[in-house]
Amino acid sequence: MALDNKNSMEKLFFALIIIFLWGCLAPQSESIPEQFRELENLTVYSSNAAPEATISFTKDAVYGDTDEVLIGRIGEVAVDDLERVFITDAANLVINVYEPDGRITKRLGRDGRGPWEFSSYIQLQIRNDRLYAFDPGPNRVTVFTLDNLAGEKTISLGSNRREHQDLIGALPSIDELHIRDDSTYVARFISDNSVEEIEWQNFERKGLLFHLDTTGEIVSEKLLEFTHAIHTHLPFRNAIIGLHLEPFFGTAFTVLSSNNHIHFAEPNYFLIRSYDQKGVYQRAFYYSLEEIPITRPISQDFANQIGVPEQLTDEINSMELPENWPVLTEMKIDDHDRLWIAVTVDDMDVYEWRVLKENGELITKFEWPRDEPIEEVKNGYMYTRQTDKETGLEQIVRYKIELEEV
C-alpha cells in the first residue's frame, strides 16, 4: 500500500511539473489581441526574450558632399555587392555613385522627362546586378547595369490599371515598388477611402499590392490589401488637404525577402505576417510589448522635434490623436533576410531596434538615436542618415557591424 501511495504521489508530482511547464511555454492567448487569436501558424515570443548575440558598431566611412560635388538634398540610398553606395540628390534629381571610401565616381540621370531622366523623388533598389531607379511621378522605372553603370531600359508601370476594379479611385501614382528576383515587380497603390471632407476628421488610406510583369503590366489580382496609414483632413488656404501625421499614427510596412515572400507589419502591434509570392498567407509571429502613452499637452518644441509641420504645432493638442505612440516605427530587411525593426520606447530620443530571423527569433537588440535613421543594412555594414554638427549638412555614415554570441 505504501508503495502504491508513493507511485501515485510521483505521478501527481510529474503531472504538476508538466502542467507548469506547459503553462510557461504555451502561447498565452490573453496576451494576444483578440483579432489575431485565430491566425494560423502564429508563433508567440516573450517580450523579455534574451538575445542570442550582442551587437556593436564601428564608424568607418562617410558619404555626402565632396570638393567636386555638392548635394542639394540627400534622398534614397542603395548599396551593391562591391560596397559602392548610390545616393539620390532629391533636389537635383540625379544619382551619385560613391566608391566604398567615399569618393564620387559617377552621376547617373538628370532632371527631365526623357530617357535616363527623372521628374520626382527617386526610389532606389538593387537586384540581379541591376540598379532600379523608380520615378513615381510618371510611374516608370529606369534600369542601370551595375557592371558599367550604363542605362539599360526605362519601363512604364501599370498602364493597364484601368482593367482592375480595385484600382478605380486609387491615387494615380504607384506609391512604392519592390523588385523580385525574376525582374518582375510588386507595386503598392494607395486608395483614398475618404468620402466626405470634414475639417480635422481622420480617415484611412488603403494599400493595395499588385504583381507587375517585366514589361510593367499588372498581371494578377491584388496580392494584399491593408490599412496603409491614417490621414487627417486639414484646412489649408480655403481648401482641405489630407495630411499624414506619421509620428503619431505610424504607417504600415512591407518588405520583400530574397525568395519574394512579403513581410507585412502594422504600426500598432508587433505582429509580422508573411505571405508567399502569390499573396497567400503563410505564417506570423508576435511579441507582446507595452504601448507608450502619448502625454498631453504636447509642447510646440516637442512637436517640431518629432517632425510635425510648424503651421500645425498650435493645433496639435486639439486634434484627434491616438492614445498611444505607434509600437513599430520602421521595418527593413538585410541581405541575409534578417528583419530590422524599430520599436518605440519611453526615451523619445531613441528607438529600440530588434534584429530578428525571418521566423521571428530574436538575434539581438540595441538603441539608436531617432534623428539618425537607418537607411540600409548590407555586406556587414549599417548605413545611417546623420547631420554634421559643424556644417549642418546631411550625410550617410557607414558602420561596421560586429555580432558576438552571448
Q: Residues 211, 222: contact at Cβ < 8 Å?
A: no
Summarised one tens digit per residue, pLDDT across range 163-205 is 999 998 888 889 999 999 999 999 999 997 666 788 888 999 9
Class of domain 40-405: mainly beta
pLDDT band at 379, cuts 50/70/90?
Answer: very high
Percent of the chain with pLDDT over 70: 92
Parse the chain into domains and list their residue ranges: 40-405
Residue 375 predicted with pLDDT over 70: yes
- Which cell numbers hold the place of 160? 493597364
Strand 270-275 to 262-265 pairing: antiparallel
Reported confidence tier of residue 23, pLDDT bands at 50, 70, 90: very low
Say if residues 31 and 288 touch (Cβ distance below 8 Å): yes
The rounded mean pLDDT for the chain is: 90
Over residues 269-299, the pLDDT tens digits come to: 999 999 999 999 999 999 999 899 999 899 8
pLDDT higher at 301 or 357 = 357
pTM of structure: 0.90
Give the C-alpha separation, 272 to 268, whole Å.
Answer: 11
Using one digit for the tens of pLDDT, what is the confidence trace for 25-78? 444 444 788 889 999 999 999 988 999 999 999 999 999 998 888 899 999 999
| Burial call 145-179: b when 16+ CB within 10 Å, e when fewer | ebeebebeebbebbeebeebeebeebeeebbbbbb
Q: Indicate the DSSP class of residue 6.
A: H
pLDDT of the residue at 195: 65
| pLDDT range class, residue 8, cuts 50, 70, 90 | low
Give 111-161 pLDDT, tens digit per residue: 888 888 999 999 999 999 999 999 999 999 999 999 999 999 999 999 999
Locus of grid cell 534584429: 355
What is the model's pLDDT at position 9?
Answer: 56
pLDDT, residue 68, reads 83
